[in-house]
Amino acid sequence: MSTQPVAADPAITGWSDKDFTERVRIATNAYVLQGLDYPAAAYVFHAVKLLLLAAGWMFWVRFTPGLGTLAGFTPWVFEPIAFQKAFLWGCMFEVMGLGCMSGPLGLKLWPPFTAGVHFLWPGTVKLPCFPDLPYLGGTRRTLLDVTLYALLLAAFVNALTRPAIGAWHLAPIVLLVVLCGLGDRTIFLAARVEHHFAMIVCFLFAGSWIAACKWVQLAIWFWAGVSKLTVAFGYVVPIMTANNPLLKNPELRKRLFRSYPDDLTPSLLAKTMAHAGTFLEFAAPLTLVFVTHDGPLLWLGMTFVVLLHGFILSNLPLAAVFEWNVLSVYAAFFLFVGHPTVSLFDVGSVPLALYLVVALLVLPVLGNVAPRRVSFLVAMRYYAGNWAWNAWLFRDGSHEKLHRLKRAGKLLLEQQKRFLPAEQAQQADAAFLAFRTMHLQGRILGMLLPRMTDGVPFQRWTYADGETVAGSILGWNFGEGHLADERLIDSIREQCGFEDGELRVICVEAQPILGSTLHWRIVDGKRGQLAEGHAALSDLARRKPWDCGVA
C-alpha cells in the first residue's frame, strides 16, 4: 500500500531560495486549506492497522475456550479476561511501535514502523533514566538491553496465550518494563506507562482490579481536562481540524481562524470548539465517578465519553492516536457499563493504593507545576498545545552526519525525498513546519531564529522538528520534547562529531500551569548551551507564525 505524500505544488518554484518568512507564510496558508494533504491511501493504512489491532485482540482472547468469536460477541466482550488481554495486547502493540506515531500520520512514511527494529538492534542510541547506572546505563544499546526487550515481548506473548491470566504471567511483564525503562526511558514511554502499563499493574496487585482500573481511566480524562486550562489549547483545535481530510469546505476551514490569510489566531468558533472539548474531558470523569448502578447518570457520562473520543477520532488527527482512543472507549464501556456496581473503594490493596496515589495524583500535579521534571505523558497532559518541544537546525547539509548512527528511520525530509524531487520534498516537509509555528509555542522559533543562526541565512539550514529527530535517532516519538533536548544532543555528540555552528537546537519547555512564560535554551551541537531565557505567552500571541526576530 502506498503511503507517499501528495506532491507539493509544482507551481511554487525556487523553494530552496526562500527565507523563513516566505516558507512559513506559504506553508501555513496552504495548511489552512488542505492540512498536511496526505492521500487517501495513508488513511486506509491506519484503518487497516486499527483492524489488525482488533483482530489481534480477538485472536488472543480465543485462547480462552468459548471466547473471541464474532458470533456471540456481545457476551464475551465484557468478560474480565477480554479486558485484560485488550490492554496487554495494546501495551505490546505500542511498545513495538505499531500504535501512536507510526505510519504516515505519525510522520513515518518509510519505514512506517521503527521502534521494534530499533529496540532489538545493538548499538542504537538510547536514553537511560540514569546514565551512570551499572549494566543499564550508557548511551548505546547493549546485548543486555536487547535481551531484556526480547524477553518483554516473550512475556507478553506468554500472558496473551493463557486461558486465564495469573500473577505469574503478569509479574514478568511489570518487572521487564521497569528494567527496559531504566535502560531506555523511551521504552518506558512507548509502553504507555501512565495508561496501559498502569492497567497491568492493577491486574497484578489489586484485590479488585476493576475498581483500580476505574481510577486509572478517570484520571486519564480528568488530567487531560486540566491540561487544557491554558491559552495554548485554543490554538490546538483549529490546527487539528484544518488537517481533517473529511473537511472539504474551504470557507469553513478559513472560519477556524480570525482572518485568513493574514491572521491565523483562533477564531471565536475555534475557541468555542476548544472549550467544548475541555468541558467533555471534565464532564466524563466527574459524572462517572459517582456511578454506582445502571441509570441515567451512567448513560450521561457515557454520552460525554463517546462525544469526546468520537470528536478526536473524526478529525483523523496527526500522531495516529486511533488505537488509544478506541481502547479508552472500550475501557469506559467495560468498566462503567459492564461493571457499574463495582465501587471505586474496592481496590483492596494498600501497596496498589499508594501506587495509584503517586501515579494518578502526585506525578500529574508535579508535571503541571514543574513540567521539566515529568514527561507530559506521565502527567497525562494530552494534546493540549502545551508541551516541551525542540527545533533542530543543521547547517550546510550537516544532517548527513546522522548517518553515522545506527537508526531504523531517517529524518522526515529524507523520507520525503524517497517519493518527491528534492525541491518539492523541501516544500512538502515545510507542512510540518507550518503545523508547528501555527501553535502558540511554535511561534518562539521565529522569535529566536536570528539568535540561533548567528546571521547565517535560513536557506543554508535544514530544519527538522525535534519530533522527527527523536523518531529517527531513538526509534520512537510521541510529542515528548524531552526526548530530543540537550540529553539527546549529548548522547550523539561523540558519534556525529558536529563542528561549532553546524547544529543549533532550541529547546522550549512547557508552560507551568501557574505560569505565563516559556523557558527556552539555545544549544550548539558541539559547545552545548549558548543562551537561555523566558518568552511571555502574551508576546507570542501577538506574533504571526512567519514573523522572524524580536518585534
pLDDT of 7 above 70: no
Q: What is the pLDDT of residues 324-367, one digit of tens each?
A: 999 999 999 999 999 999 999 999 999 999 999 999 999 999 99
pLDDT of residue 412: 93
CB neighbours (10 Å) of residue 227?
27
* Domain extent listing, the chain: 42-191, 209-386, 389-541
Q: What backbone torsions phi and psi does residue 547 show, to the nearest 5 degrees?
A: -65, 140
Q: Which amino acid is at 96?
A: M
Model confidence at 551, in pLDDT bands (50, 70, 90)? low
User: What global pTM score does this model have?
Assistant: 0.94
CA distances from 137 to 131, 381, 405, 507 (A): 4, 28, 18, 24
CB-count exposure of residue 249 (10 Å: 0-12, 13-18, 19+): exposed
Amino acid at 386: N
pLDDT above 50: residue 215: yes
Contacts of 303 (CB under 8 A, 6+ apart): none
Three-class SS state of 29: helix
pLDDT averaged over every residue in the chain: 94
Question: What is the tens place of the pLDDT at every residue in 146-155?
Answer: 999 999 999 9
Give the type of residue at 391: A
Region 87-111 average pLDDT:
95
**What SS3 state is found at 524?**
strand
pLDDT digits (tens, 9 = 90+) for 118-127: 999 999 999 9
Strands 263-266 and 528-536, by their bridges, are unpaired
Res 131 pLDDT > 60: yes
The percent of residues above 90 in pLDDT, for the chain, comes to: 88
* DSSP string over 302-340: HHHHHHHHHHHHHT--TT--HHHHHHHHHHHIIIIISST
All residues at 6 or more sequence positions from 177 whose CB lies less than 8 Å from its CB, including other chains: 95, 152, 187, 188, 191, 193, 197
Q: How confident is the model at residue 4 (pLDDT cuts 50, 70, 90)?
A: low
* Residue whose entry in the numeric block shows the C-alpha cell 494518578: 360
Examine the pLDDT at 1 and tell me if it is beyond 60.
Answer: no
If residue 91 lies in a helix (H) or strand (E), which one and from where to where?
Answer: helix 80-95
Radius of gyration of the chain (CA): 23
Report residue 482 as a C-alpha cell. Answer: 524531552
Residue 167 clears pLDDT 70, i.e. is over it: yes
> Could you tell me the three cell numbers for 171?
509479574
- What local confidence, expressed as pLDDT, does residue 2 receive? 44
Q: Comparing C-alpha atoms, which of 142, 229, 212 is closest to residue 184?
A: 142
- Which residues contact residue 154 at a Cβ distance below 8 angstroms, ignoring those fewer than 6 apart? none
Single-letter code of the amino acid located at 373: R
Give the number of other CB atoms < 10 A from CB of residue 383. 21
Which residues on neighbouring strands pair with residue 528, listed in sequence order? 524
C-alpha grid cell for residue 217? 481511566
Q: Which residue has the cell 481533517?
A: 244
Q: Give the number of other Cβ atoms within 10 Å of residue 482's Cβ.
A: 27
Q: How many CB atoms lie within 10 A of CB 4?
A: 18
**Cβ count within 10 A of residue 421:** 13
- Residue 66 CB neighbours (<10 A): 11
